[in-house]
Amino acid sequence: MTKEQIKEFTLRTTNSNHSGLILVLFDVVNVYISDSINAYDSDDKEQYIKNIRLAKKSHNELISCINPKDELGRKVLSVFRFIYGKLVSSEVKRRPDDLDRCRAMLDNLRVGFEKLHSLDDEEPVMKNAHQVYAGLTYGKGTLSESTLGDTYNRGFMV
């Protein structure tokens, strides 16, 4: 994962509600799986294993977001467990056998969660985060991000 992707995920995390955080997790897992496939193609076994392990950790967070008491949640959970099994298998076998298939399955599930997110009007989870605005500045084709607001004192006042 690149530093730019980390900054993007951090920004999305600070401005997201619960359903938005699930979409962030989907994207993080997808990036780690893609990075592991790229590492395998470039014959970097150490990076491949590292990215698979990070994908597994992120995918576990995604699994923990699902309610197993709901019937639909149990069905989604069974798909997530299948994908987790493929991640474990890819780590043990040291080759990305079904990782493209797992990415496609995650992309299909993400469409449903995007629809749920569009219906969700909940406030962002993080209350004291800076709001970030992006726009073009005087620089030629550059994009700058700046924070606005009175939330600079986010700690306790004594």
Structure tokens at 115: 């629809």
The rounded distance, in Å, linking the Cα atoms of 89 and 158 is 53
> Which residues in 143-152 are b (16+ Cβ under 10 Å) and which e?
eeeeeeeeee
Q: What is the structure's pLDDT at 136? A: 45
Q: What's the whole-number average pLDDT of the chain?
A: 83
The rounded distance, in Å, linking the Cα atoms of 97 and 23 is 25
Kindly indicate the confidence band of residue 3, based on its pLDDT and cuts at 50, 70 and 90: confident
Q: 5-37: per-residue pLDDT in tens?
A: 888 888 888 878 888 889 999 999 999 999 999
Percentage with pLDDT > 70 across the chain: 78
Q: Which residue has the higher pLDDT, 146 or 115?
A: 115
